[in-house]
Amino acid sequence: MKKISGNPYFNKKEGEVLVDKVLLNEILKTNSTPLIIFLENRVRNNINTFLRVFRSVFDNFQCFYSFKANFLPEICNIVQSEGLGAELIGLPELKLALKLHFPPDKIIVGGPYLPQELIEKCVQEKIKEIVVYNINDLIKINSVAKRSNIIQEICLRINAQKYGSKLGILLNRLNVIQLKKIINECKNLKVTTLLSHYSTQMNNFELFVKNVNILLDSTKVLFDAGIKIDNINLGGGFPEAVIMPENQLRELATKINSLINNFEIKFKNIYFDPGRYLVGDAGLLIAKIIKVTEDRWIFLNIGNHICPKFAKSSIRFYNATKIEQPHKFKTSIAGIIPTDQDVLAKDYFFTNDLKEEDLVVLTNVGAYNLTFSNRFPYLLPNIILVKDQTVTNIFNPSVNRDFSIN
């Protein structure tokens, strides 16, 4: 047995492709392409690796799964069963998390848009922290908390000061005065945490270091202004687990920990909210070749409407029909959106022999692909969950119509 794409739950064996413990050909007897497959054991395995590494490096670490990476109830349910918290941006996600029994004290909610209904639900359900991206939202949250006679804990998302970044509160010595004034007036709020999420798919340790330094500098700016922060949240940004193996993750965690330990101010808790790392390589997309051109372009029966560029996934392509053949012949891959822009890969190393009906597997599509997918008027793919030998259908477009949450 040999791993495909570095994924221990996706293997080749005697010319056949194995999805966990089921043959892909067996799955395709009852499912047609395009088909999305999620690997439950890989999600659990990634969660366990992440927790093992960060718990061994930090004494005071907590992990919140970022639902936006993949909000399918079945995936979030797996995450819940492993004891993680949830990082959410809106009301549909909050309703889902509560329905799945994420404890409110393990839920943090916030984003660039906090509608009144969302704030009220957060206060009413006593969720752990509301994450504030805009200073004026503090006033809105305070008035809801005051009406309910509670003190709401707040996490401030600060601007990561990456070139062109507009998200979060820009903290400097000038506007900290305005922030302090608002915090002093908002008697029903307690600012406990600072969050900075630098970017997604960060393959370079230096980006994580920048993120930590921005948080530490901002903590100091607030401290000097008389605002004491208990916790820091470093966000997510880790690549797929197949891209960052456990030893690298540990090295990164150790580096982050030493930066924090050497800082003059001590924190009660260190939070992370990974999305992609936990679910990215647990998603496979099975497609087929529908056209081959003389200059080695292949067209698949999927496109950027299902695996959009916005998802920034490290997609790998395999010819599953010819899995034992060398994948070292430059091939370009197009999708079925009727525009020349629907290119999935150019000059990608693929099999020499290309035939219509060949099965193509795309790996690492578990995070953000469904999130950013759009409504191009093709039928949505079936979605199944595989665990050991068990295959469960979790989405059938002819029955369920849509996988969005409300």
Report the interface residues with ligand PLP, using CB under 6 A.
66, 69, 87, 195, 197, 200, 235-238, 273-277, 367
Structure tokens at 226: 């008389």
Residue number with CB closer to ligand PLP (57 or 194):
194
* CB atoms closer than 10 angstroms to residue 255: 15
Residue number with CB closer to ligand PLP (127 or 333):
127
Residue nearest ligand PLP, CB atom distance: 236
**Smallest distance, ligand PLP to C-beta of residue 109, A:** 11
**Smallest distance, ligand PLP to C-beta of residue 353, A:** 37
Structure tokens at 80: 């819940």
Residue number with CB closer to ligand PLP (309 or 401):
309
Residue number with CB closer to ligand PLP (366 or 381):
366
Using only the alpha carbons of the chain, give its radius of gyration.
23
Residue number with CB closer to ligand PLP (236 or 335):
236
**Smallest distance, ligand PLP to C-beta of residue 206, A:** 16
Residue number with CB closer to ligand PLP (206 or 295):
206
What's the Cα-to-Cα distance from 404 to each of 99, 163, 307, 354, 373, rounded to whole Å? Answer: 15, 32, 16, 36, 10
**Smallest distance, ligand PLP to C-beta of residue 181, A:** 26
First to last CA, the chain: 42
* CB atoms closer than 10 angstroms to residue 367: 30
Q: What is the dihedral of CA 145, 79, 36, 349, to 10 degrees?
A: 110
**Smallest distance, ligand PLP to C-beta of residue 259, A:** 19
**Smallest distance, ligand PLP to C-beta of residue 216, A:** 17
